[in-house]
Each structure stands twice: as C-alpha cells, then as structure tokens.
Amino acid sequence: MTINDSAANLTNTGSPSDDYLRLEHSNADHSRTFVVNWCLGNTCNYACSYCPDNLHDASKPWTSYEVAENFARRVMDHYGPDRKYYFEFTGGEVSLWKDFLKLAEFLKARGARVGMISNGSRSMDWWQKARPLLDHVCMSFHPESALEKEDHFFEVAKFLSEGLRLHLNVMMSPEKFDACYAVATRLKNIPNVSIAMQPLIVNFGSELYKYTPAQHHIMDKQYDLIVKHIKHTREFEYFRGAMQKVYADGRRVSQAPHRFINNGQNNWAGWKCKVGLEQIVVDFDGKVFRGWCLVGDSLGHVADPDFKFPTEAITCTKTMCHCNFDIMATKYRANAAVETGVSP
Ligand code: SF4
Ligand code: SF4
C-alpha cells in the first residue's frame, strides 16, 4: 500500500473485493472463545482532544458490582461450560472503578480470562495487585497527558510484560509526532510486547488527522522500524486474531482485521454474521448489543432479569464494519449456507 492510499481507504466502504464465501477465525479455538467487550463507565483522568467528551466526561455512573457479577455469571451459564470466556473491559479508564479488581477476581475464580484497556496511569501499587488477575492488557500512550509521565508508563509496561500479554498503542499525535515516535522506539526494548503506532482519528470516527508524507511513511513502515526489533521469548494465549477468507475451492487466506479497514474491504452487508454468538458488547448505559456496529439493536440491559441471549446469526445491514472487534466475528454469505461447526 502506498502512503497516500492508506488514508484514502479509511473511508472506502466498498464491498469485499473478492469472492470468498466466508470469513472465519484463522485459529479455530477463537471461534469457541466467547468474548464480552464491556464498557463499565466513562470516567477518565485524561481528556484527550481526539476523544469524544462522552467517552471521558464521567456523565455515566460506573456499573454496580452486583449487576456486573450477575450478568457475567449469566453469560457463562448461558453459553455453557464448553466455551472459553474472555472479558475485556473498557471505559473511560476502568482502573479507576473501585470494584474492578473484585470483578476480575470473581471472573478468574470462574476460569474466565480477563483483559482491560487502560491508559496505564494507575500507581505501581495498583498494577502489582492487578497483574495476577489479568491475562491481557492493552495499554495506550496518550501523549497529551502521558508525555510528562513517560517513565511511569515505561515502568508499568515493563512490569506487566513480565506477567501477562501486553499490547502497547502509541497514539501518534501529528503535533507531538517526534516525541511519540521516540516513545515507541524506547518501548520496543521491552521483550514480549506488541506495539502499534496508531494514527489518530477525529473523535474516533472515520476521518484521519492530517499527517505529513514523512509521518505517514514512519507509520507505514512500523514493522521495520519498531515491531521486528521486539524480542519474544514467551508464548501467550490469544483470544482473537487474524481472520481467514475461505473460498469455494477450499483456499484459505489469512488477513489481519485492520487490513480489511485499510483496504476498504469492510462491507459485509447482506452476509450472515455471528456477532452475538461469538461475542457481545455492553455500552456505558449497560445496554447489550451483538457488536459495536449495533446491528440488530439492543438485546436488553445487563440488569434486566428477562435478558435473552441471541441464538442465531444475524443478517448484516451496515455497509461499513468499522472496528476490528466486530470484524473478528465469523461471517458468511447468506446464500452460501456455510457454517463453521460451532454452535452457541
Ligand atoms: S485516555 Fe482514553 S478514555 Fe481517557 S480521554 Fe484519552 S482516549 Fe479518552
Ligand atoms: S457490521 Fe456488524 S453485523 Fe455487519 S459484518 Fe460487521 S459485525 Fe457483522
């Protein structure tokens, strides 16, 4: 891909450009892992300029502990003991929720895997308590607030990398680009992590911030500049990953989820999709949906005693599947009658 077309394709909503019949997990175990992507609240100690106010302005109270534990229990009871469970919590900044570690402890005791997305700002004391309860952390470096605490971010990253699977995003502010690139360059010395230099998108929508050609070039070359230098000495369990295009003649071609977006191949309108059977999402209000695309509307509320979990794949009605999480659900052409062999 050239520097110029990576930006242009962010808003390309064209159909999948080839004739594969279904899109399934490259790792078959991932289709058996039920993922809950759960927004627990919108309180954050940062207020990044590229983040919509309602993602950090504390206008929604945290979920109550009792409701959260009950819903988590019902998910695992409903989808049954043959599946693995991965709960990934987002905010806001979920490490600020007073009951976060208590909920993580409950889930771990039930055999579930637990992950979180964090800005990494909590104290080392907090992370020392958290690490044994977590399987995965996605920690993002937000330069507007974190640059002055770069050493703390580095220290937390190093500590977490020694006990769990850690992904590090460096949010590449165009104005602070050189400093962000220096942070990514420093982080690549931590073994066993993954790192992505993330281009910023206005309000987390579809419009990319303006970058110079040189800045695009650095982000496009991040594998050579950063990723390939990271040492890997340990194996980790993954819950989601590449997807595989399956063709009528049996060919299988793997592709990372973000490539579908970058290449403008993220339109599965009219296809059947297993969001809701392989994963669900919970928004700040406690409303449950199959995916962040909101296709099929809300399934109910986490506190609803009559909550009904979905039992069938849904027909996609959107022309743009906009986030990696939603892309990582099995999809198949409605007229291809293809199944993956995994029932909810
Ligand atoms: S740290 Fe995350 S949630 Fe908080 S303001 Fe920044 S982008 Fe928004
Ligand atoms: S937009 Fe939703 S329903 Fe459509 S393919 Fe993506 S996840 Fe599935």
Using CB distances shorter than 6 Å, the residues near ligand 2 are 268, 273, 275, 291, 293, 295, 314, 316, 318, 321, 326, 329, 331
Q: How close is the Cα of 266 to the center of ligand 2, in Å?
A: 9
* Nearest residue to 37 (alpha-carbon basis) of 74, 85, 70: 85
Q: What is the pLDDT of residue 5?
A: 31
CATH superfamily ID and name for 32-229: Aldolase class I (3.20.20.70)
Under-70 pLDDT residues of the chain: 1-17, 336-344
Nearest CA to ligand 2 atom 6: 321
Backbone angles phi, psi at 335, to 5 degrees: -90, 5
- Ligand 1: nearest atom to the Cα of 117: 2
Handedness of CA 54, 56, 61, 65 (dihedral sign): positive
Nearest CA to ligand 2 atom 5: 268
From CA 220, how far away is CA 151, in angstroms rounded? Answer: 26
Q: What is the pLDDT of residue 343?
A: 36
DSSP assigned state of 266: -
Q: Give the chain's length.
A: 344
- Amino acid letter at 48? C
- The ligand whose atoms approach the alpha carbon of 23 most closely is 2
| pLDDT tens per residue, range 145-176 | 999 999 999 999 999 999 999 999 999 999 99
Phi-psi region of 136 (alpha: psi -120 to 50; beta: other; left: phi over 0): beta
Q: State which of 316, 323, 332 you would mutate to test the pocket of ligand 2, scoring each by most atoms of that ligand within 8 A of its C-beta.
A: 316
Delimit the domains of the chain by residue range.
1-26+241-273+313-344, 32-229
Nearest CA to ligand 1 atom 6: 48
**Cβ atoms of residues 13 and 319 within 8 Å:** yes
296: preceding bond cis by omega (within 30 degrees): no
43 lines ligand 1 (CB under 6 A): no
Q: How close is the Cα of 330 to the center of ligand 2, in Å?
A: 9
Q: Give the CB-side neighbour count of residue 139, counting CA atoms within 13 A.
A: 29
DSSP assigned state of 242: -
| pLDDT tens per residue, range 17-35 | 578 999 999 999 999 999 9
Q: How close is the Cα of 302 to the center of ligand 2, in Å?
A: 22
Q: How close is the Cα of 92 to the center of ligand 1, in Å?
A: 6
- Amino acid letter at 55? L
From CA 247, how far away is CA 14, in angstroms rounded? Answer: 19
48 lines ligand 1 (CB under 6 A): yes
Q: Where are the beta strands (DSSP E) in the chain?
A: 22-25, 33-39, 84-90, 113-118, 136-141, 165-172, 193-199, 243-246, 252-255, 272-273, 279-282, 287-289, 300-301, 314-315, 331-332
57 lines ligand 1 (CB under 6 A): no
